[in-house]
A and B are shown apart, each in its own frame.
Chain A
């Protein structure tokens, strides 16, 4: 059974940092592109970032480029999102998701972790 479990969310002040983790099981993690998607309160989904199976290629939405860094540890089946210089508008539930074949086919998602950026 495929499972994705996010962790690391919480309350942080504007300008602060947070590192999200996603632990996966049930598939060959290193073979798949992984992604982070977020949903701000009352808003639609927003794609945030993606990373190739090897970790060599990374992709970012313009809204987070230069502030967020995606990475992965294939030996531990874990995906990460380092979030720096956080803004109030980064407040959202963050989901990790597995990509199947090509964008935007995200075939498995976690249940999300809530990040609140507030003073």
Chain B
């Protein structure tokens, strides 16, 4: 069982927006502004999409945005495109003893 809770699946039609949640506790998501999101196409290397809750690395489209409220972080993908279909994983800093925790991943389907 993963430390962070994500819905197993999400879906939307091209052009629509979809939001994926990531729920933790005050010891991880709620306690630090260090949440990252990764896009993972099966068989390929995971790709960093969001870091520090809402920052985008260079090259990531601004259709991808992140936010946090309390113990829940969220990833929103706007203007869905076919190539956005992938697994999305959230992660959070969780303290010096066990610094990184992940969610179980959400499979995003573009209908």
Contacts and interface: CB of A to CB of B under 8 A. Distances in A.
Interface of A: 4, 35, 37, 43-47, 50, 59, 61-62, 95, 97, 100, 102-112
Contacts, number: 76
Contact of A47 (B6, B101, B105): B101
B103 interface: yes
B9 to A, nearest CB: 13
Interface of B: 2, 6, 34-36, 38, 40, 43-48, 51-52, 57, 89, 91-93, 98-105
B44 A104 contact: no
Contacts of A100: 51
Nearest to B87: A44
B99 A104 contact: yes
Nearest to A50: B99
Contacts of A104: 34-36, 91-93, 99-101
B38 A45 contact: yes
A102 B95 CA distance: 12
Nearest to A63: B98
Nearest to A43: B104
A44 B104 CA distance: 4
A97 B45 CA distance: 9
20 contacts: A37-B102, A44-B103, A44-B105, A45-B91, A46-B2, A62-B98, A103-B93, A103-B100, A104-B36, A104-B91, A104-B93, A104-B99, A104-B100, A105-B48, A105-B52, A107-B48, A107-B57, A109-B46, A110-B45, A111-B44
